[in-house]
Amino acid sequence: MQKSKTQTYYQQKSEAVLRYIGNHLDGDLSVKTLSEQSGISRFHFHRLMRAALGEPLGSYIDRIRLETAITLIRYGVMPMQDIAGHIGYQDLSSFSKAFAKEFGVSPNDYKADHTLVFNTHIDYQLNATNKLISDIKPKITVLSDRMIYFIRVKGKYGGPEVEKAWEEITEFAIRNKIVSWNPDIFSIYYDDGEVVGFENAVSDICIASKKLVKTTGTIETKNVSGGKYSVFRYKGPYEYLWDLYNSIFKVWVLDTDCKLRDAPVIEKYIKYSKKTKPENLLTEIHIPIE
């Protein structure tokens, strides 16, 4: 019984911290200030908040600031300079850089293009004990037809054949300057390895681009059809993706009214970089629906 009371106490404390952050985005959100506001010792505060959030507190604050900016830019009338100050950035330049790094476009470009829709919600992530936790609120999106450069791979997803293909197509993309600030890179999965055998699973390693260049080696080009998808965003290491797929089909597909479309699953890698820590990797799972 005492354990349950302790959990409730710290859950209430963490929820109060999150409310304080949401109401003071333009203020001092240091660990010292937040720990004093919550009444939790600063020696334990960061660990407790990370356990509650499933991510570092600083990452959460950065994300909430930029999510708030999306709403203010799209639906408010506040000047961009004032928006930057309202969410805690010292100047417009630092806000614009952070926004562009996160979403691939500047705040002004986002304001001008009302067709842009950003997905910032995390459906799946790992907690402090590396257990997959979920807050499933998938976004429905419609992808347009597009041209891609790709390498077809036969072998285990994430295996050496796939790694070799990624190295080849990445080098090709950089050499031919076909990647943008926020490149559209993804895999298309045609098989379930547990059904056909992981060594027989076929996938395409892809980079979408409108630029036409001569292909080399095993790299090919083609147009892929778009369509309607339910998109799930996952934050964490790639080795947990198989558990994620099992969860999506067990928890969401069986309970939803959506009907699956006869098309392969797409696995998109958001802001991929070898410098990104595994726990901060973002992946979007596109499940085709009618």
Same domain, 165 and 250: yes
Does 132 map to a domain?
no
User: What does pTM read for this prediction?
Assistant: 0.69
Quote the tokens at residue 104: 């691939």
Same domain, 152 and 274: yes
Same domain, 100 and 224: no
Same domain, 143 and 282: yes
| Residue 203 confidence (pLDDT) | 93
> pLDDT by residue (tens digit) across 171-204?
999 999 887 656 789 999 998 877 888 888 899 9
| Residue 3 confidence (pLDDT) | 46
Does 129 map to a domain?
no
Same domain, 8 and 95: yes
pLDDT means per 10 residues in the chain (290 residues)?
58 88 93 89 84 81 92 91 95 91 83 77 82 86 91 89 92 87 84 84 92 91 93 90 86 84 92 79 92
| Residue 2 confidence (pLDDT) | 45
Does 178 map to a domain?
yes
Quote the tokens at residue 235: 């934050």
Same domain, 172 and 67: no
- Domain tally, the chain: 2
Same domain, 170 and 240: yes
CA gap 245, 260 in Å, rounded:
14
Does 51 map to a domain?
yes
Same domain, 92 and 207: no
DSSP codes of every residue in the chain: -HHHHHHHHHHHHHHHHHHHHHH-TTS---HHHHHHHHT--HHHHHHHHHHHHSS-HHHHHHHHHHHHHHHHHHH----HHHHHHHTT-SSHHHHHHHHHHHHSS-HHHHHH-TT-------SEEE-TTS-EEE---PEEEEEPPEEEEEEEEES-TTSHHHHHHHHHHHHHHHHTT---SS--EEEEE---HHHH-GGG-EEEEEEE-S------TT-EEEEE--EEEEEEEEES-GGGHHHHHHHIIIIIITT-S--B-SS-EEEEEET--TTS-GGG-EEEEEEEB-
C-alpha 112: how far from chain center: 23
Same domain, 90 and 212: no
Same domain, 100 and 181: no
Residue after which a domain boundary falls, among 62, 97, 112: 112
Does 82 map to a domain?
yes
Same domain, 160 and 96: no
Residue 60's domain comprises 2-112
CA gap 19, 208 in Å, rounded:
40
Same domain, 21 and 78: yes
